[in-house]
């Protein structure tokens, strides 16, 4: 049986929570309810289950437990390493081609802070450590959004260019995350204007999965990075790793055909599966490719804090929720609330989220 204690490749990063409080303060049945399909549950009494809310356990934010990274090999020991299915000609492939919900609406920088930037901040350190980014490097941040990762690069002494296709997000980045070592630039990750080998490294967080032409983007990331430089990315694992979104998506999929299409499209793309990015990295000619999961915590203060994040039209789930007729939207909200509360008083909940990160090296000579 796999045991982290026996795994020579196990590297544990920033387990401040365990060090500071002991493991029981981080997680437990009463402290971190897990997300599941949030449709109204049948009465637990009818099922003969005694439901006694835990009284002694006080919820505490799991924020300090930023990441546990299991790596140290060509393939992480806990990952599926078999072949990826070929979706060509399947329903999933065709729905991915025809679905009309835009992949991402990057129009309001402040809304993005509430939706995601407050959590991508937690990803920045472990992700850049994993990528091996060092002070003094000249780094391109692709799909930089409101500049969370770009700012983290500057803080560790890099010179950084933040590239994004959204002027409103770039305005937010220039306003809130400016730094003498950063330039924010408008551009398309699929066709970058930089010369070959312009950067020591190229990174991208939570971005290449919202761009349909992902292979093209990775080829561009490789092209603009010098020989021996690192190309790295991180995206959510949509097969159970993005639990706060799944609660909304799976619940609404029961009630709404459109959300079901969104769910099926999201899950069908190998890039959001274990080793999906690694396969693209290898196909792009990058070498020494390693993929691994990073776990971060999304901590919501209340149901309102949580629901407002996923009902804003930014990602596909929020766009679909926002577009539902009022009555259906209210029904979805009622069921999602039931899943969030899980019979406990409203308040804080902490969701574990898996970001799969990949890094590869540009071969000498580009």
- Tell which positions 204-223 bind ligand SAM, by CB under 6 A: 205-207, 210-211
Among 33, 38, 61, 143, binds ligand SAM (CB under 6 A): 143
Q: Give, in order, the Cα–Cα distances in Å from 26 to each of 31, 70, 208, 242.
A: 8, 19, 31, 19
- Dist CA 253 CA 364 (whole Å): 48
| Smallest gap from residue 24 Cβ to ligand SAM (A) | 31
Tell me how far apart the alpha carbons of residues 221 and 233 are, in angstroms, rounded to a whole number. Answer: 10
For ligand SAM, give the closer residue by CB, 76 or 233: 233
Supply the minimum distance, in Å, between the C-beta of residue 342 and ligand SAM.
28
Q: Dihedral through CA 21, CA 22, CA 23, CA 28, nearest 10? A: -60
**Closer CB to ligand SAM, 102 or 135, in the complex:** 102
Kindly state the number of chain residues that form the binding site for ligand SAM, as judged by CB under 6 A. 23
CB of 217 to ligand SAM, least distance (A): 7
The string over 78-101, giving b where at least 16 C-beta atoms fall within 10 Å of a residue's C-beta and e elsewhere, is: ebeeeeeeeeeeeebeeebeebeb
Scanning 73-81, 157-165, 263-271, 319-327 for contacts with ligand SAM by CB under 6 A, the matching segment is 157-165
Q: Tokens in use for 101?
A: 């919900």
Torsion, CA 64, CA 66, CA 71, CA 77, rounded to 10: 90
Q: What is the number of other CB atoms lying within 10 angstroms of the CB of residue 303?
A: 18
Name the token pair of 243: 């639990």
Nearest approach, Cβ of residue 166 and ligand SAM (Å):
4
Is 245 a binder of ligand SAM (CB under 6 A)?
Answer: no
Figure out which of the listed residues 33, 145, 241, 318 binds ligand SAM, where binding follows CB under 6 A: 145
Stretch that binds ligand SAM, among 74-82, 84-92, 183-191, 295-303 (CB under 6 A): 183-191
The set of residues, in sequence order, having a beta carbon less than 8 Å from that of 18 and lying 6+ positions away, is 26, 65
Q: In angstroms, what is the minimal distance from the CB of 180 to ligand SAM?
A: 21
Other beta carbons less than 10 A from residue 328's beta carbon: 14
Q: Which is nearer to ligand SAM, 120 or 316 (CB)?
A: 120
Tell the smallest beta-carbon distance from residue 152 to ligand SAM (Å): 10
| Contact code string over 98-137 relative to ligand SAM, x by CB under 6 A | ------x-x---------xx--x-----------------
Provide, rounded to whole angstroms, the least separation between the CB of residue 189 and ligand SAM.
Answer: 3
Chain residues 184-203 in contact with ligand SAM, contact rule CB under 6 A = 188-190
Of 26 and 140, the one with the shorter C-beta distance to ligand SAM is 140
Cβ(358)–Cβ(289) below 8 Å:
yes
CA distance 360 to 291: 9
Whole-number minimum distance, CB 149 to ligand SAM, in Å?
5
- Binding-site member from 148, 154, 249, 252 for ligand SAM (CB under 6 A): 148
Cβ proximity to ligand SAM: between 31 and 101 the closer is 101
| Torsion sign, CA atoms 155, 11, 243, 281 | positive
> Residue 41: is it exposed, middle or buried by C-beta count within 10 angstroms (0-12/13-18/19+)?
middle
H helix intervals, the chain: 16-21, 91-98, 109-112, 118-131, 148-155, 167-176, 214-223, 243-255, 257-268, 276-283, 303-310, 316-323, 326-341
Alpha-carbon distances, residue 63 vs 17, 28, 118, 174 (angstroms): 8, 15, 11, 27
- Of residues 122 and 329, the one with the C-beta less far from ligand SAM: 122
Residue whose Cβ sits closest to ligand SAM: 145
Q: Which is nearer to ligand SAM, 148 or 231 (CB)?
A: 148
Output the smallest distance, CB 164 to ligand SAM, in A: 5
Contact present, 123 and 294 (Cβ < 8 Å) = yes
- Residue 121 or 282: the one with the smaller Cβ distance to ligand SAM is 121
State the residues that interact with ligand SAM by CB under 6 A: 104, 106, 116-117, 120, 143-145, 148-149, 163-166, 169, 188-190, 205-207, 210-211
């Amino acid at each position: 049986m796999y045991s982290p204690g026996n795994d020579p490749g196990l590297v544990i990063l920033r387990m401040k929570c365990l060090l500071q409080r002991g493991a029981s303060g981080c997680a437990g049945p009463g402290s971190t309810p897990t997300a599941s399909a949030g449709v109204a549950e049948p009465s637990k009494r009818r099922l003969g289950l005694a439901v006694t809310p835990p009284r002694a356990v006080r919820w505490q934010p799991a924020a300090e437990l930023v990441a546990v990274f299991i790596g140290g090999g060509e393939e992480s020991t806990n990952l599926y390493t078999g072949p990826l299915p070929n979706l060509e000609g399947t329903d999933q492939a065709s729905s991915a081609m025809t679905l009309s919900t835009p992949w991402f609406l990057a129009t309001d920088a402040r809304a993005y802070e509430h939706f995601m930037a407050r959590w991508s901040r937690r990803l920045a350190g472990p992700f850049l450590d994993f990528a091996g980014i060092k002070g003094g490097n000249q780094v391109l941040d692709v799909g930089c959004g409101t500049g969370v990762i770009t700012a983290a690069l500057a803080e560790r002494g890099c010179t950084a260019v933040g590239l994004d296709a959204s002027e409103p997000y770039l305005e937010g980045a220039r306003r809130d995350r400016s730094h003498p070592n950063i330039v924010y630039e408008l551009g398309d990750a699929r066709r970058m204007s930089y010369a070959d080998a312009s950067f020591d490294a190229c990174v991208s967080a939570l971005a290449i999965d919202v761009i349909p032409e992902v292979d093209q983007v990775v080829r561009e990331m490789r092209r603009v990075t010098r020989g021996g430089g690192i190309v790295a990315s991180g995206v959510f694992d949509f097969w159970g790793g993005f639990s706060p979104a799944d609660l909304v998506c799976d619940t609404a999929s029961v009630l709404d055909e459109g959300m079901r299409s969104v769910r099926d499209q999201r899950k069908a793309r190998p890039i959001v599966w274990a080793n999906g990015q690694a396969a693209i990295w290898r196909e792009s000619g990058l070498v020494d490719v390693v993929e691994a999961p990073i776990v971060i915590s999304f901590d919501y203060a209340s149901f309102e804090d949580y629901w407002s994040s996923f009902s804003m039209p930014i990602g596909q789930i929020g766009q679909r929720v926002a577009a539902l007729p009022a009555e259906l939207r209210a029904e979805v909200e009622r069921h999602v609330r039931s899943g969030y509360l899980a019979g406990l008083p409203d308040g804080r909940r902490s969701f574990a989220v898996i970001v799969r990160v990949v890094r590869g090296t540009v071969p000498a000579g580009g």
